Homo-oligomer: A and B are copies of this chain.
């Protein structure tokens, strides 16, 4: 397969980009050591990632994600006050409160390498992991988990939920985020074992 021939080049390019992002402090702190680990392995490299996040965003037209506006985004547990301050910025469109699981995209050298990583990720609790794409350039594994919250909480400047409800969903989101991030640690440990 052509992606196999392009692997060394793609790994070099992606690793350089990763180094640059690290220098510019664009990488989520709590996923850096896992990304370093993967990039240190001979047959893999990372292309993009998010360590999991809690989000308040508004989407102008239904499903028009291109024009979505982040009102709050945290790669850690949040307080109700932080969420309320983000909500206060709401102007128009549909207002959402969301929890997004960690997500990693990893280039693999061969199909066998891809399947090995995929199966390991599933074992570590990343049950929605898959092979995201195969092109002449890259064979990409997506490491992804099931934790997810998508709650419409207002529209066009109107807020639909009260503080009491917000407190409950913030607590649930914090708990899910904690659980999802534990899986990142687990995956890192398992990769460590593979190499030793």
Q: A residues near B, CB below 8 A?
A: 1, 62-63, 94, 111, 115, 118, 130-134, 142, 148-152, 155, 160-161, 164-165, 168-169, 172, 175, 179
Smallest CB separation, A15 vs chain B (Å): 24
Whether A150 touches B151, Cβ cut-off 8 Å, given contacts A130-B132, A165-B161, A168-B160, is yes
Smallest CB–CB gap between A138 and chain B, Å? 12
Q: Roughly how many angstroms separate A142 CA and B152 CA in the complex, as a whole number?
A: 27
Docked Cα-Cα span, A172 to B160, in Å, equals: 13
Knowing A115-B134, A132-B130, the reply to whether A150 touches B150 (Cβ < 8 A) is yes
Copies in the complex: 2
- Bound Cα distance A130, B132 (Å): 5
A150-B149, A152-B169, A161-B165 as given contacts; A175 in contact with B62, CB under 8 Å: yes
Starting from the known contacts A94-B172, A115-B134, A151-B152, 19 additional A-B residue pairs (CB-CB under 8 Å) come to: A62-B175, A111-B134, A118-B134, A130-B131, A130-B132, A131-B131, A131-B134, A148-B148, A149-B151, A150-B150, A150-B151, A152-B168, A152-B169, A152-B172, A155-B168, A160-B164, A160-B165, A160-B168, A161-B165
